[in-house]
Amino acid sequence: MLNNIKNILLPLNGSGDLESVMGIALEFAKRFEAHLSAVVVGSDPSEVATLAGEGLSAGMVSEMIDAAANEAQRRAIEVRAYFDTLMRQNAIERYSPSSASSPPGEHVSASLDVLDGSEHDAITWRARLADMTLVPFLATDADPRASETLHAILFDSGRPLVIAPPKPPKSVGKRIAIAWNGTPESSLALRCTLPWAKTAEAVQILTSPTYQRRGPEAEDVLAYLRLHGISATARTFEPIDRSVGSGLLTAAQEFEADMLSMGAYSHSRLRQMILGGVTRHILENANLTVLMSR
């Protein structure tokens, strides 16, 4: 039995479409008989208070803090109602791992907590004790804090991050594409993908001379997977219009992958933000579920 994923962290917010990320969360929870640790983070008043030095009066800052708190409460109420409805529809038990009650055992359970304070710290700290964190797709018009939270989890949790696609997928983890370039980041992503790869219908390693760094080659990855009882194939792809990210997504699409695994930010995040890069391209353009590790 596949038991290595037991706690799935699920940061939620009340804006945007949660259908895709919640559908994947439910599928993963049932597949691994795991606990869904859903959290909603309220606005941090200290973020608003920093505007006091930008020409706003104390009264205006106070009103903004109150408005932020009210918005956070509204968001929490909406998410809780949506979450509770889904849990009832799927007959999933509510359980808090921090309570004194007995653990749920070998079946799916869920909890939802509303957190205050810094979103980075509140989510990242919990992610360090989760087996994976699942987040919605990072839309270009999303709240800038969503991007900062995603990167905080990626860089500071030490655990894999799974990003849902923009629209609910028909399946996740049946056909897995693994981007490999020999780096420590891709090695960790490979290891984190094993729970899905062990039950996948097909697995393919995707490499490119432009993408490859110093390290093991695709043949070595195939041998490693065989030791885990996983049969896979390898394919070399080429950049499209000099974009490795575009070439990678095209290769994954041609393989009909419903999940892509990859290491993130082998180059620095700053370099990729300025010059572009594979990670940035995938975050902005992927239309399938993506597992990233850093």
Q: What is the dihedral of CA 208, 212, 217, 219, to 10 degrees?
A: -10
Strand order in the sheet with 233-236: 93-94, 109-115, 35-41, 7-12, 132-135, 161-163, 289-293, 259-263, 175-179, 202-207, 233-236
pLDDT at res. 261: 97
pLDDT in tens, 211-228: 888 889 999 999 999 999
Alpha carbon 157 to chain centroid distance? 12
* pLDDT given for residue 172 in this prediction: 96
Q: What is the pLDDT of residue 53?
A: 52
Residue 64 has a pLDDT of 66
Model confidence pLDDT, tens digit, residues 260-294: 999 998 655 544 444 348 898 999 999 999 999 98
CB atoms within 10 A of CB 209: 9
Which DSSP category does 54 fall into? G
**Which of 135 and 120 is assigned the larger pLDDT?**
135
Distances (CA, A) of 127 to 69, 97, 160, 261: 24, 14, 9, 19
In the structure, what pLDDT confidence band is assigned to residue 54 with cuts at 50, 70 and 90? low
Element (H, E) at 111: strand 109-115
